[in-house]
Chain A
Amino acid sequence: MSDPVLEVSGVTKTFGALLACNKIELDLQPGEIHAVIGPNGAGKSTLIKQIAGEQKPDSGTFKFAGHNIDILSASQRARAGLVRTFQISSLAGEFSALQNVMLAVQGASAHTFRFFKPVQSDMSLVEPAMEFLKNAGLEERAHTAASELSHGERRQLEIAIALAMQPKAFMLDEPMAGIGPGGSKVLTGILDQLRQQAPILLVEHDMDAVFSLADRISVLVQGRNFATGTVAEIRNNQAVRDAYLGEEVAS
C-alpha cells in the first residue's frame, strides 16, 4: 500500500458516560472509496465530525496528506483539501449557483479578508467558478438562486462546489439521506464524478449501494472499529454478520 491520504489513529471520544468512539483506527488510500457503516449510535457521525474538525477527540490523532492536522480548525482543514460535502441543506439558498461556487473558490484561495474589490469583476473567482459550473452542466443556471434549483441540479451544484475546493480527499456523510428509492443509482453518479479527483470516505446506510460501490469497508459497532476489509472480506466475515449485518447481507 502507498501512503494513506488520511490516517485516523487511536481516536477516542466520550460524552459523559457514553463512549462514542473507542480507539478508532482508520485510513483512506489514494483513489479508493472507503465506506464506514454501522448501526445507529455506532459513532459514525461523531467520527466524521472529529475528522472535519467540528469536535475535538479526547485522545488520538489525525494525519492528512502526511501532516498532523490535530490543531487545525474545521475551516483550515477544509482549506487544506479535506472536503466535507453533501450535508443536509448545505447550500447558501439566496446565493446564485455561481456565487455558491465562487465562495468555494474563494475559500480554497484563502483570500477572504479583502474589502474593496467587487467580486463580480474578480476574474480569479468568476472564471474558475464558471468552469466548474460548466463541467457540472449548470452553465445555464449560473445566475439562478440555489433555492430555486431542482434536486438534481442542487446535487450537481454540490459536486461543482466540492471540486472547486481543490480537494485531496472527500468525506460524504449519508449523501442519500432523504432521496428515497433509486438512491444508489444517483450515488453511483456522484461518486463517479468525485473519485476521479480524490479518494472518498463515505458514511452511508444503504447497504446495497455501499457493497456495490466501495473498495473497502469499515464496520463501527459501539464506537469501535469492528472490522476493516474489502467488500468480499466484510461480506464473508462471520463476526460482522453476527454482530450487525445479519440477514440483510446474506440475502
Chain B
Amino acid sequence: MTLTRETAINAVLFVGLLIAALIAYLLDEPFIITMATKVAIFSIAGIGLNLALGYGGLVSFGHAAFFGFGGYVAGILANHALNNTLVFSWPIEMAGTNSMLMIWPVAIFLSALVALLIGVLSLRTSGVYFIMITLAFAQMIYYFAISWPAYGGEDGLPTYIRNSFPGLNTLNPIEFFLICFVWLGVSLMLCSAIVHSRFGLALQGTRQNEQRVTSVGIDPFRVKLVAFVISGGITGLAGTLYTDLNRFVSPSVFSWQTSGEIMVFVILGGVARLFGPLAGAALFITMEFTLGGMTEHWQLWLGLLLLFVVLYTPGGLIGVLTSGRGKDV
C-alpha cells in the first residue's frame, strides 16, 4: 500500500477510534468506550457487507439475517451455559458455553452457512430483485424469531453477563473494547487481503461485467456465492460481539431496520472503500447520541444531515476527505 491521502485518513480513523476509547478510559467515561465499541462492532458488520455490496455489487438488504444469527448463537450458547442445559442432545450432546473462543467459530460458521443457503437461492436474481429477495429471507427469520417461544420470542434473551475471554475481564468496558478493536483490525486486514487477491480481482471483475468474467473462464456465480458467504460470516461475527456488548439479544437484530442501518453505514462512509464502514458507523453513531441528547426531534436533523451527505458528497465521507469521486455501483 502506498502512502496516499486515503491511507493517511484511514490510519487517522483507525487510530483515532483507539485513542478516543483510551482517553475515555483515562477520563473515566465508560459510556464513550461503549459507543466506541459499538462503532467497532458495526464497522465489522459493515466491512462484511461492503465485501458483498461494495466490491461484489451484491446489494443485500438482508444482512440483518447474518448479524442476528451470530447474535443469537452467542445468546443461545451463553443462555444454555447459564442454565446448565444442553443445546441439543442428538446426534451428539452439545452443551452451552460462555467462552468467546468457542462461540466465535461456531457463530462464524453458522452465519456463513446461512449465507450459503440464502446465497444459493438469491444469486439467481440481480438488481432490485436481489435487494428484495435478500430482504425477504431476513424478514422470514425475523418473524420466526418473534414467534418462536423457546428463546424468548420478541422479549429476547438476556445473557446477564458477557461471555468470557481468557485473561480478560470482559465486563470491563475498555477490555471488551480492545477485543472488538482487535477484531476490527483483523476484519480490515482480511478484507484488504481479499480485495487485492486473485479472488478479489475476479469479484470486482464480476461486479463490472459478469459476461466478461465468464468468457475468461471464471464462473461468476461461484465467485459471488463465495463472497456472499465470507460476507455473511464476518457480519455474523459482528452480531456475536453485539450480543456481548448488550448482554442481550432480541429479534430486533433481524429487522429490516438493522439491514438498513448497516447499509447506511457503508454508503455513508463510501462504497467499496476499505475504511468506509468505519467512517460511516463512527459518524452515524456519534450523531445519533449527540443529537439524541439535544433534541427530541433529532431524527429530523439526522435525516437532513444524511440528505446533505448523499446529495453533495458523492463517494461518501472517505470520498469527500480524499476529494475523489465515488465508485458507482
Contacts and interface: CB of A to CB of B under 8 A. Distances in A.
B119 to A, nearest CB: 15
Given A75-B219, A78-B217, A106-B218, A117 B198 contact: yes
Contacts of A92: 204-205, 208-209, 212-213
A92 B197 CA distance: 17
A128 to B, nearest CB: 13
6 contacts: A75-B220, A78-B217, A94-B204, A106-B198, A107-B213, A112-B202
Contact of A107 (B200, B209, B217, B222): B217
Interface stretch (A81-89, A180-188, A210-218): A81-89
A41 to B, nearest CB: 22
B198 A122 contact: yes
A82 to B, nearest CB: 9
B226 A78 contact: no
Given A103-B201, A112-B223, A90 B193 contact: no
B214 A78 contact: yes
B196 interface: yes
B216 interface: yes
Range, interface on chain B: 20 to 34
Interface string A58-88: 0000000000000001111011100111010
A102 B199 CA distance: 12
A248 B29 CA distance: 86
Contacts of B4: none
B157 to A, nearest CB: 34
Nearest to A114: B198
B216 A165 contact: yes
Helix, strand, loop or mixed for chain B's interface?
Answer: helix
B7 interface: no
Nearest to B199: A115
B201 A90 contact: no
Contacts of A39: none
A119 B223 CA distance: 16
B193 A115 contact: yes
A123 B198 CA distance: 12
A197 to B, nearest CB: 15
Contacts of B83: none
Contacts of A79: 217
Contacts of B219: 73-76
A243 interface: no
B199 A78 contact: no
B327 interface: yes
A108 interface: yes
Nearest to B194: A115
B226 A113 contact: yes
B197 A119 contact: yes
Contacts of B208: 92-95
B201 A102 contact: yes
Range, interface on chain A: 35 or more
A91 B196 contact: no
Interface string B257-297: 00000000000000000000000000000000000000000
B172 interface: no
B89 interface: no
A78 B209 CA distance: 16
A116 B193 contact: yes
| Most B Cβ at <10 Å: residue of A74, A85, A99, A111 | A74
B274 to A, nearest CB: 13
Given A92-B208, A95-B205, A85 B198 contact: no
Contact of A74 (B205, B214, B222): B214
A125 interface: yes
Contact of A90 (B200, B211, B226): B211
A209 B71 CA distance: 64
B209 A117 contact: no
A110 interface: yes
B197 A103 contact: no
A93 B200 CA distance: 16
A118 B196 contact: yes
A112 B198 contact: yes
A161 interface: yes
Given A89-B209, A92-B209, A93-B209, A110 B200 contact: no
A110 B217 contact: yes
Interface in B138-164: none
Given A83-B215, A89-B209, A92-B208, A106 B197 contact: no
Contacts of B223: 112
B216 A120 contact: no
Contacts of B222: 113
A170 to B, nearest CB: 11
Contacts of B199: 112-115
Contacts of A106: 198, 201-202, 216, 218
B228 to A, nearest CB: 14
Given A95-B208, A113-B226, A90 B196 contact: no
Contacts of A87: 211-212, 215
A99 to B, nearest CB: 7
Interface string B201-243: 1101100110111111111101100100000000000000000
